[in-house]
A = this chain, B = another copy of it.
């Protein structure tokens, strides 16, 4: 990296978008020397983080996420705030074009002085689902962005990852052709805090209301994550800027509720702990994989376990004893 850590930090803190982007590229890099500088940078900016509202956004392809983010982002800016847009996309090799990488999207938002848009990161530097979206968010917070919108295309475990690093989780729904099940992935309803039924216009308003009714019924069986919060099901059209105010207000109300009950801080602390545990596992796994004999042993023991040749716990014990005695 041709920029020093000091230059990058100054760039981030002064709102220089180019240097902010450079810092994110550094954090996303898999190279060992970049990792060292990235760790240094992250350590220095930590005191300036934590002051944003972190919003997770999900929905099936076609739900209108990009249009929503474009116009909702502009609404955030109209309210005197700065907005950053990130994406978690574990299958970036396939979907990169369809998410934020698509240059024709969010054109208007991208022009805004107070907006920062970052396309999907490459997959995690340790392989697997490891990714650096959390670290990118830290940089955006240090750069003074008040709202961080994190989009997920909803592949694999990406919603869980997003829910694990955000304060509020928004689900964009489109009106199904009678089959309301369509497009709701297992587990989503357990994560959501606010639902927005998008693409509602005059000619499908009644259908939208029915969908809302069905969703509300379903929600009766799913306790909300936060006590005292009734998950709102809002109708609107992101394209025509209808209903976005309501989303903004509901997010505000939700954050207020969490702050009043101290759950805001509590959840963030839990998230950081979880993230620490996650990374401990990732680093242990990465270290194990450096030795091919250890990795082979892992694969073999796991195979024995899954074929039920012997008890999974016995295989795990044999492996760990073997692995730890070697180091």
Contacts and interface: CB of A to CB of B under 8 A. Distances in A.
A283 B220 contact: no
Contacts of A301: 276
A242 interface: no
Interface in A96-122: none
A256 interface: no
Contacts of A320: 280, 283-284, 287
A310 B44 CA distance: 8
Interface in A260-299: 268-270, 272-273, 275-284, 287, 298
A190 interface: yes
Interface stretch (A66-74, A86-94, A180-188): A180-188
A16 interface: no
Contacts of A268: 308
B313 A135 contact: yes
A298 B283 CA distance: 14
Nearest to A221: B218
A181 B223 contact: yes
Contacts of A134: 312-313
A324 B315 CA distance: 21
Copies of this chain, tallied across the complex: 2
A327 interface: yes
A243 B163 CA distance: 40
A273 B313 CA distance: 10
B283 A281 contact: no
B190 A186 contact: yes
Interface of A: 39, 42-43, 46, 49-50, 134-135, 138, 180-181, 184-187, 189-190, 214-215, 217-218, 220-223, 225, 268-270, 272-273, 275-284, 287, 298, 301-302, 305-317, 319-321, 324, 327
A196 to B, nearest CB: 16
Contacts of A280: 298, 316, 319-320
A313 B302 CA distance: 27
B221 A189 contact: yes
A131 to B, nearest CB: 11
A287 B277 CA distance: 16
A309 B189 CA distance: 33
Contacts of A217: 214, 217-218
A204 to B, nearest CB: 19
Nearest to A309: B46
A321 B324 CA distance: 14
